[in-house]
Structure 1
Amino acid sequence: MDSSQWSSFLITAIGNFGFPIVITGYLLIRFEKKIEHLNDSIQALAQVIRDGGKSK
C-alpha cells in the first residue's frame, strides 16, 4: 500500500469510526467520577466490615 492509499484509508477510517470514538471518550470521562465515588464507597464499606460494624 503506497502513501496515498494509506492516507485515503486513514481518512476513511477516521470518518467511519471517529464519532463512536469521541462518544466513548466522553462517556469514559463522564463515568470516571461515578466510578471513583463507587470505589470510595466500597473502601468505606470494607473498613466497616473489618471493624466489625462498630461505629467510630
Structure 2
Amino acid sequence: MSNDLLNIIGNMGFPIAVSVYLLVRLEAKLEVLTVSINNLSKAIEVRS
C-alpha cells in the first residue's frame, strides 16, 4: 500500500505541480484583468 502510494505521487507529482503553478499565474492575470475592466467601466460612466 505505502509503495503504491509513493509510486502514484512520484508519477503524478510533476503534472500536479505544473497545474498548480499555472492556476496561480492565471489567478494573478485574472485579477489584473478585473481591475482593468472596472477602470474602463468607470471611465465610460464619466464620459456619459
Q: Same fold (TM over 0.5)?
A: yes
Task: Quote the RMSD (CA, aligned, Å).
Answer: 2.1
Between the two proteins, the alignment pairs up a number of residues equal to 48
Q: Which has the higher helix share?
A: 2
Larger Rg over CA atoms? 1
Query: What is the TM-score with the length of structure 1 in the denominator?
Result: 0.62
Query: What is the TM-score with the length of structure 2 in the denominator?
Result: 0.69
Unpaired stretches in structure 1, ≥5 consecutive residues: none
Query: Percent identity over the alignment?
Result: 46
Aligned mates of 2:4, 2:33 — CA distance in 1: 41
Which protein, 1 or 2, shows the higher relative CO under an 8 Å CA cutoff with sep ≥ 6?
A: 1
Unpaired stretches in structure 2, ≥5 consecutive residues: none
